[in-house]
Amino acid sequence: MIKNFVRGFGALSLALIPLLSAPAAQAAPAAEVTPLADAVGLVQVTEEDRTGYTRSKFKHWNAGDDAGDGCNTRAEVLIAEAVVAPTIEAGCKLTGGTWASYYDGQEVTSAGALDIDHMVPLAEAWDSGASTWTAARREAYANDQGADVSLVAVTARSNRQKSDQDPADWMPPSPEAQCRYVGEWVATKLRWQLTADDRELEALKVYAEGPCEDTIVRYTPAA
């Protein structure tokens, strides 16, 4: 199933006659579109270092993109990615609904059976550059709904099997999901200017130069 591709894109309004007193609007960063092999070549390579990492250094889940809807980031992602929309009850309790967990091809009909996976796990992000970020930027990363590939609703089982592993050590068990996964992994690394270690890069190259050579990577650099 194809994820809700519109998540993360706000409605764009254009003023025909800008107010003279208003500052010039900044253009949104342009999306980059490139073949997977070229995208892999853009990822910088460094050694990883997990010194000092704790999950609590990435504040999540926060109030989400709409602070007034009563739902946190987790719930907003579940609502956005539902194949059949759930009912939203008081306190943002979700009932009903259907989701497609693309890692393992499972259909899920209970929000409680799903995890929201960080495409590039928090520990991997720390290893790859996030250790130097401010707390605010790490929070933004951990709650990133600005790209539809950053956070993904999947079965708790598949998310926990993945844990904090990179593609050198774990890939989705569904073969049909693997090229999509590699493309989204690389897109997230480039969006946040995260690095890769040698083993990770070699694993990505195997897919980029083999079964996933036709995969296209789309990403917008994070602010």
Say how many Å lie between the first and final Cα of the chain, rounded. 29
Query: Is pLDDT of 7 > 90?
Result: no
Task: Report the predicted TM-score, pTM, of the whole model to 2 decimal places.
Answer: 0.87
Whether cis (ω within 30° of 0) applies to the bond prior to 61 is yes
Whole-number Å distance between alpha carbons of 31 and 210: 25
**pLDDT of the residue at 5:** 38
**pLDDT of the residue at 27:** 60
pLDDT tens digits along 78-93? 999 999 999 999 999 9
Question: Who has greater pLDDT, 23 or 38?
Answer: 38
Query: Is pLDDT of 20 > 50?
Result: no
Query: Is pLDDT of 140 > 70?
Result: yes
Q: Buried b vs exposed e over 149-177: b needs ≥16 C-beta within 10 Å?
A: bbbbbbbeebbeebebebbbebbbebeeb
Mean pLDDT of 140-151: 98
Of 218, 223, 221, the C-alpha closest to 3 is 218
**What's the whole-number average pLDDT of the chain?**
90
Question: Who has greater pLDDT, 13 or 3?
Answer: 3
Whole-number Å distance between alpha carbons of 159 and 119: 10
- Tokens 């609904």, residue located: 97
Mean pLDDT of 184-213: 98
Mean pLDDT of 200-220: 98
Query: Is pLDDT of 25 > 70?
Result: no
Please report which confidence band the pLDDT of residue 29 belongs to, taking 50, 70 and 90 as the band edges: confident
Q: What percentage of the chain exceeds 70 in pLDDT?
A: 87
Whole-number Å distance between alpha carbons of 150 and 1: 17
DSSP string covering 135-163: HHHHHHHHT--SSTTSEEEEEHHHHHHHT
Of 171, 151, 152, 153, the C-alpha closest to 161 is 171
Residues 197 and 46: beta-carbon distance below 8 Å? yes
Query: Is pLDDT of 13 > 80?
Result: no
